[in-house]
Amino acid sequence: MNITKELFGETSKGAAHLFTLERGGLRASFTDFGCALQSLVVSGRGGRPVDVVLGYDAAASYEAGGGSFGAFVGRYANRIKGAEFELDGEVYRLSKNNGENHLHGNYSKELYEAETDGDALVFRRLSPAGEEGYPGALMLEVRYFIDDDSGLHMVYTAETDAPTVLNLTNHSYFNLAGEGDALDHELRLLCGSFTETGPGTVPTGRVLEASGTPLDFSEWKAVGRDIGADYEQLTLCGGYDHNYIIGGEAGTLKSFAWLRCERSGICMEVSTTQPAVQLYSGNHTDGANIPLGKGGVRYPKHAGICLETQNYPCAPNFPQFPSAVLRPGEIYRHETVYSFSV
């Protein structure tokens, strides 16, 4: 596999670079600013190359823009209600960056050390104790590589020197047509339930069944078919922005999602070791805080679909959810694979 490096522009953290991996029918570009997936070119029907992820043409836009396009997200992906949690009898207060809540964290706005390890591209960073209010210094490693079967692998590992909470993901927006909105994309999820969302799109702690509701994707369905339904879970979020429960054996790589587009003929399969996935229908990709996308394009609303593999949102505050606690001597390791076919 060939890996190249080029300058991607200046940020307040220093010069950023773009690294491109190419193998078989895939070409993936990542920047060391936020470990973001900047471009993913896939061969569609008739061999036509399609860049299937949203992104920006320069590092400065990743620093200034919202949306977390392609970003490595943490220290805790998704929302923590009230921007605080209790761990071992102590309350930790986090930065409030989503109203009164904490959303994702600042990992997408940091510069990472980069190196190649065989066919893999590896990013590393030390997240210091107290960053955004989190306890424990955390050594992070993000590893990207492409396999022989057109699968893009994302492997996250971390170790801590003090008890902390951790939930890492990638926040790529997929548009398998490479243009327009993605509401015509058809989705199938092997997920029968989801965590209920309350006002402010924060979880309530309850788990609801998806069957028979507009959130049911157990059979192939266009993302846009029910997105405007008069259903409280959709109206609260302005579309899909929900954590689906994957289930299965913890830590085992399992296929759970398929996304396909008739316009390009591309189908994407998603596998993960994580217990859940956040389905987000790009409800704000046309927002005022979103700079022009690649090629100077203004992205429309619902320009991409996110399938963010992760732990449950706000798990540190709900003991009935899978634990998000990482302790010294333990190794956090999760893997997600995005595979493509025509």
Residues with a known catalytic role: 171, 308
Locate all alpha helices (DSSP H) within the chain, ordered by sequence.
59-64, 232-237
Nearest to 324 by CA among 86, 72, 82: 86
Spatial separation of the C-alpha atoms in residues 96 and 100, rounded to whole Å: 6
Beta bridge partners of 257: 189, 270
Beta bridge partners of 115: 122
148 three-state secondary structure: coil
> Taking a C-beta distance cutoff of 8 angstroms, is the pair 220, 199 a contact?
no
Spatial separation of the C-alpha atoms in residues 225 and 249, rounded to whole Å: 32
Spatial separation of the C-alpha atoms in residues 84 and 91, rounded to whole Å: 7
Angle at 174 (CA atoms; ends 153, 50), nearest 5 degrees: 90
Q: Report cis status (omega within 30 of 0) of the bond before 23.
A: no
Spatial separation of the C-alpha atoms in residues 85 and 32, rounded to whole Å: 30
